[in-house]
């Protein structure tokens, strides 16, 4: 079973390629180092909530679309991912993330 880091990275790569963006172009759009894009796409590290927001904007998708994976993972893995991602977010961004998660669950 793949970790959420890997699933999220794979999904971001998939959408980035669909938008015909190189890692370098994408990195410039979201204001991070190209090596960081590679690390995110390979599942080496989690993007921050701010970076997730910039990613979804640059890829022209809703944030929830980044979390649509082809397989279901355990609730514990999702919980871990959400805690890790939201650990440094402000209340406004946390509320936005909660809305996105609710929409995913209801879909």
Domain boundaries along the sequence of the chain? 4-106
Query: Token digits for 25?
Result: 């172009």
pLDDT in tens, 60-83: 999 888 888 765 555 556 666 777
Is the whole model's pTM more than 0.75, yes or no?
A: no
Looking at residues 4-33, what average pLDDT do you find?
A: 94
d(CA 91, CA 88): 10
pLDDT in tens, 84-102: 777 777 888 788 878 877 7
Would you say domain 4-106 falls under CATH 1.10.10.10?
Answer: no
d(CA 17, CA 57): 15
């Amino acid at each position: 079973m793949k970790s959420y880091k890997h699933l999220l990275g794979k999904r971001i790569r998939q959408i980035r390629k669909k938008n015909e963006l190189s890692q370098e172009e994408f990195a410039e759009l979201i204001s991070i180092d190209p090596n960081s894009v590679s690390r995110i796409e390979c599942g080496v590290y989690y993007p921050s909530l701010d970076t997730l927001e910039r990613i979804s904007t640059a890829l022209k998708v809703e944030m929830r679309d980044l979390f649509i994976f082809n397989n279901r993972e355990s609730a514990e893995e999702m919980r871990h991912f959400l805690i890790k991602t939201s650990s440094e977010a402000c209340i406004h961004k946390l509320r936005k993330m909660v809305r996105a998660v609710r929409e995913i669950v209801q879909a």
